[in-house]
Amino acid sequence: MKLIYAIVNNDDSHAVSSALTRNGFQATKLASTGGFLMAGNTTFMICSEDDKVEDAIATIKEHSHKRKQFVPNSANFSTGGYTSFPVEVAVGGATIFVTNIERFEKV
């Protein structure tokens, strides 16, 4: 058995959750926050048989979309002044970890 951790942007959370359920996967959802943009994410914990891991990952990938977003950036110029201008960054998609499970019980 494997444990899949999938960190998904909140904008894609509902679509991922619905698709996982439709495809027979049970998931625990945890609210989480990204460290770079401090934006809301959802972390899914999915227990899966080894032969179903690729199906779960494909489902997550299909419903997690990357998008561009502008965030403020501060730059220091040699004159000692600071200015703020937006910088485009890619957000969304999914970060996925798969680990082995030594023991699994549902009581």
CATH number reported for the structural domain that contains residue 21 in this entry:
3.30.70.120
Q: What is the mean pLDDT of residues 68-94?
A: 68
| Greatest alpha-carbon span in the chain | 65
46 part of a folded domain: yes
Range of the structural domain that residue 31 is part of = 2-100
Question: 13 with 28: CB under 8 angstroms?
Answer: no
Which pTM value belongs to this model? 0.77
Per the prediction, the chain carries an average pLDDT of 86
Considering its fold, how many domains does the chain have in total? 1
- Any idea which of 7-16, 23-32, 65-74 has the lowest mean pLDDT? 65-74
Question: 88 with 66: CB under 8 angstroms?
Answer: no
106 part of a folded domain: no
Count how many residues are written for the chain.
107
105 part of a folded domain: no
DSSP letter assigned to residue 61: H
Digit-coded pLDDT (tens) for 96-107: 999 999 998 888
Q: What is the mean pLDDT of residues 42-63?
A: 96
Count of CB atoms within 10 A of residue 44's CB?
A: 22
CA distance 41 to 12: 9
DSSP letter assigned to residue 78: T
